[in-house]
Amino acid sequence: MALLKSNKVIHCLGSISPSLGVLSTRNSSWWGGVQMGPPDPILGVSEAFKRDSNPKKMNLGVGAYRDDQGKPFVLSCVRKAEAIIAAKQLDKEYLAIGGLGEFTKSCAQLALGADNEVLKSGRNITVQTISGTGSLRIGANFLSRFHGGSRDVYLPKPSWGNHTPIFRDAGMQLKAYRYYDPATCGFDFKGALEDISKIPEQSVIMLHACAHNPTGVDPRPEQWKEISEIVKKKNLLVFFDMAYQGFASGDIDRDAWAVRYFIEQGHNILLSQSFAKNMGLYGERVGGFTVVCNDADEAKRVESQLKILIRPIYSNPPMNGARIASTILNTPDLRSLWLEEVHGMANRIIKMREQLVAGLKKEGSTHNWQHVIDQIGMFCFTGLKPEQVERLTKEFSVYMTKDGRISMAGVSSGNVGYLAHAIHAVTK
């Protein structure tokens, strides 16, 4: 009798459980409602490239340096620094939350200049970050929590694709100011000044220190001066992204000119740095985030809050890349070798720009390609239209993003002639 009663109870529960969602919960996935995300446009280019069997195929999408044989390049100064570090048989203990002290000091000196007043007065704080992306995200989180002004961040149009999700996911609002002029494939100086002059006070403005990504278009020094003046007049908070110091022109001081000028003019900037491109430390994830403050006391308070932000995200940064960068920057022979090598990388990119334009003229192109030479850094905004990019891919196996941006690092003396022929074919 007891067994019959228990069966009745079980039967009864079974009949009502669907209305309570018990069975449906057991039979469904926790993540059934997760939708497929859109593919990354650059990774999509690389995947299509890999599937292509054309021996002349070119991948101009990925932003990583290649030598003139199209191979990944490890700097000699990096190999030598690694040997020095290995010989010391150092431990693998955790770094401090703010990173390796020798690295953060050298990182700030590289960006601001060793004799900068900011460093001498101790009114900056620099923390080690997980490359440039991590630096930007720490900066975005800091703004989200402590910036008392507008939550609006104004990006140049266009800007690096990752800027938008980095700031958006930190709770900031994204807006834009004119920057690139498609008609000239150059800097829309007039449009930029007009838009910046209308930005509400205390907003955040993002500036690319050098080698603007994705266009390769940089303001000239006299234009930077006018931008600084109007930004100061509007009381905007400047956030510099400097991912290419040394890699753009081959001169670390020239590439840092805008950053140093803005500080000289009284801007207390935020600054992100990356050592991926200029030292080839892509996978080591080495970067820095700097806040320039009013005084040393304010810098200490900001440092304390940056540590509080970092701790629950990744606790402390990785040490190997920071040790490599620090060893290079603090060993005179290695630093000199690095400066030679980064100059060599930049010069190869500049040479490929010149050879591409020469090749287009040789092919008989009557278009003005001067912007290819005038632009600087790893990327070039060619001015190609989406339908021309599609033809390049289908007919010549030349892969790039649909906006016509090409990574000049993928161009070599062995394939620049083929690229010129292909571009001419789709633009004549």
175 carries an active-site annotation: no
160 carries an active-site annotation: yes
* Token digits of residue 96: 């401090």
Query: Which amino acid appears at position 218 of this protein?
Result: D
Sequence-ordered list of residues with C-beta below 8 angstroms from that of 35, at least 6 positions apart, any chain: none
At how many degrees (to 10) do helices 386-396 and 416-427 cross? 130
* Token digits of residue 319: 């040490």
* Token digits of residue 29: 């996935």
Relative to beta strand 152-157, strand 173-178 is parallel
Q: Left if phi > 0, otherwise alpha if psi is -120 to 50, otherwise beta: which for 131?
A: left
Answer for the pair 112, 119: CB distance below 8 angstroms, yes or no: yes
- Euclidean distance between CA atoms 1 and 11, whole angstroms: 15
- Euclidean distance between CA atoms 427 and 17, whole angstroms: 67
Helices (H), 147-249: 163-169, 189-197, 221-233
Q: Which of 407, 378, 411 lies closest to 245, judged by CA? A: 378
277 carries an active-site annotation: yes
176 by DSSP, 3-state: which?
Answer: strand
Catalytic choice (57, 80, 277, 338): 277
* Token digits of residue 306: 């940056």
Catalytic choice (57, 160, 195, 224): 160
Catalytic choice (195, 241, 338, 369): 241
Sequence-ordered list of residues with C-beta below 8 angstroms from that of 340, at least 6 positions apart, any chain: none
What are the catalytic residues?
A: 160, 241, 277
